Amino acid sequence: MKIAIVEDDINMRKSLEIAMSDYKEYEIVTFKNAVDALKKLDDSFELVITDINMPKMDGIEFVKELNGRYEIIIMTGNATLSRAIESIHLGVKDFLLKPFDVDTLVAAIEREAKVLNAKKKSSKSNKKSVKDFLASSLSLDKVITIASKAAKTDASVLLLGESGVGKEVFASYIHKNSLRAKKPFVAINMAAIPENLIESELFGFEKGAFTDAQEAKAGQFELANGGTLFLDEIAEMPYGVQAKLLRALQEKEVRRLGASKATKIDIRVISATNANLQTKIENGEFREDLYYRLNTIPLNIPPLRERKEEILPIANAMVAQNCVKYGFEIKTFSDDARDELLTYNWPGNIRELLSVVERSVILSENQEIQKDELFLDTRK
């Protein structure tokens, strides 16, 4: 792997050159500033390690100029942490807190090497699309490729996967990459609405339609008109409402409760569930005709335990974000903590990982988060 190190401090730059000279598998090229680096960087480089505070062009502007062509590791001190966080939105997922030793540097390089290897294995990987996600793996890249194709159409998409895998993230991604991107994206969770209110929530109502209807209200279908309606936990929709949803999708119109006329709608529907809809159909709990209407393009999102390459990049980025959020000095994970993150089964998937990282940032006593400060339930 060919690596560029951009560091204006000559002593730091020479130290890194000497430290990395023992690692023959890496070809190290150093630059004293970002302007010089931009002149020399080409497709032979795969990883860039850069400082933030530099003359002529700072590290954040440098990363912007690189425009996602390389994997990036940011070197930062506490004084520049808030600026380092800006780089997260540019695709940076790993940070080195100065001063650091060579083992820490090599571990960070090895993490990025694994990410690069996973991307190389996926010949169909859409690199532009991957930038929309905090991290990616070979298995996720395959799903992103299908989602990218689906986004260009108005076909109904059914997102499948365990709770916490990121189904709403995919729904939002499909919308943002579709021709409807400038129109509304409306998300509604079927499980969060009382059964007797679902119909009025979806389709709206006219004034006087029922006792508490003091004024007319548009439903979620009308609010999403022209855009995308995301129906999360679709398996929780009452059976009686399912027929009305099917009719709305087929006729492309909705009728508010108490209304005499229907309203034409133009929406794209994305639905999601962690339930087995085939079993629900067999048990008479879900309409088979609605299932086929929603399931034009099924997207099965793999659980986090099958996407190990994503764990540390996501965890590192979220540590940095949470340190800024709570006003802490930047923290990192110890080697034991990293190993624990990688071996844990993650029954709660991405949602659980985000919670664990935030908790560890808050409760850890030192800048290096230890294994026992993750408070993982290893019985799971």
3-state secondary structure of 272: strand
Q: Residue 343 pLDDT > 80, yes or no?
A: yes
Question: How confident is the model at residue 83, as a pLDDT?
Answer: 64
Q: The dihedral of CA 321, 327, 332, 336: what is its sign?
A: negative
Question: How confident is the model at residue 197, as a pLDDT?
Answer: 87
Give the separation between CA 352 and CA 375, rounded to whole angstroms: 12
Q: How far apart, in Å, are the Cα atoms of 288 and each of 160, 293, 356? A: 16, 9, 39
For residues 328 and 288, which has the higher predicted lDDT (pLDDT)?
288
CA nearest to 72, candidates 139, 5, 163, 158? 5
As a whole number, the mean pLDDT across the chain is: 87
Q: Residue 270 pLDDT > 90, yes or no?
A: yes
Question: How confident is the model at residue 215, as a pLDDT?
Answer: 84
**What angle, rounded to 10 degrees, do the helices at 102-121 and 10-20 form?**
70
Determine if the pTM surpasses 0.85: no
Question: How confident is the model at residue 127, as a pLDDT?
Answer: 42
For residues 369 and 112, which has the higher predicted lDDT (pLDDT)?
369
User: pLDDT band at 313, cuts 50/70/90?
Assistant: confident
Q: For domain 138-304, is the CATH number 3.40.50.300?
A: yes
For residues 293 and 75, which has the higher predicted lDDT (pLDDT)?
293
| Residue 284: exposure state from Cβ atoms within 10 A (0-12, 13-18, ≥19) | exposed
Question: How confident is the model at residue 99, as a pLDDT?
Answer: 81
Average pLDDT over residues 345-364: 94
**What angle, rounded to 10 degrees, do the helices at 349-363 and 335-343 form?**
160
3-state secondary structure of 92: coil
Is residue 207 within 8 Å of 198, Cβ to Cβ? no
Give the separation between CA 180 and CA 230, rounded to whole angstroms: 13
CA nearest to 189, candidates 160, 231, 245, 243? 231
Q: Residue 363 pLDDT > 80, yes or no?
A: yes
Question: How confident is the model at residue 181, as a pLDDT?
Answer: 94
207-219 tens-digit pLDDT: 877 777 778 888 8
For residues 275 and 215, which has the higher predicted lDDT (pLDDT)?
275
Question: How confident is the model at residue 123, as a pLDDT?
Answer: 40
Give the separation between CA 110 and CA 145, rounded to whole angstroms: 26
Q: Which two tokens stand for residue 243?
A: 């027929």
Alpha helices in 67-166 (DSSP H): 81-86, 102-121, 127-130, 138-151
Q: Residue 269 pLDDT > 70, yes or no?
A: yes
User: What whole-number percentage of the chain has pLDDT above 90?
Assistant: 53
Asked if 2-124+307-373 and 138-304 have one fold, the answer is yes
User: What whole-number percentage of the chain has pLDDT above 70?
Assistant: 91
Domain boundaries, the chain: 2-124+307-373, 138-304
CATH architecture of 2-124+307-373: 3-Layer(aba) Sandwich (3.40)
Give the separation between CA 209 and CA 200, rounded to whole angstroms: 10
User: pLDDT band at 242, cuts 50/70/90?
Assistant: very high
Place of tokens 């004034």: 207
Q: Residue 54 pLDDT > 70, yes or no?
A: yes
Q: The dihedral of CA 75, 78, 82, 85: what is its sign?
A: positive
CA nearest to 271, candidates 229, 325, 226, 239? 229
For residues 344 and 116, which has the higher predicted lDDT (pLDDT)?
344
Q: What are phi and psi of 9, to 5 degrees?
A: -75, 115
Give the separation between CA 369 and CA 347, rounded to whole angstroms: 22
Question: How confident is the model at residue 366, as a pLDDT?
Answer: 86
Question: How confident is the model at residue 78, as a pLDDT?
Answer: 61
Give the separation between CA 233 and CA 241, rounded to whole angstroms: 14
Give the separation between CA 37 and CA 372, rounded to whole angstroms: 41
112-164 tens-digit pLDDT: 887 777 666 544 444 444 456 766 678 888 899 999 999 999 999 999 999 99
User: pLDDT band at 76, cuts 50/70/90?
Assistant: confident
Question: How confident is the model at residue 297, as a pLDDT?
Answer: 95
Average pLDDT over residues 303-321: 89
Question: How confident is the model at residue 128, as a pLDDT?
Answer: 42
189-232 tens-digit pLDDT: 999 998 888 988 899 888 877 777 778 888 899 999 999 999 99
Q: In this predicted structure, which of 172-181, 255-264, 351-360 has the lowest mean pLDDT?
A: 255-264
- 17 DSSP 8-state letter: H
Q: In this predicted structure, which of 145-149, 325-329, 344-348 has the lowest mean pLDDT?
A: 325-329
Average pLDDT over residues 275-298: 96
Question: How confident is the model at residue 213, as a pLDDT?
Answer: 74
Average pLDDT over residues 158-184: 94
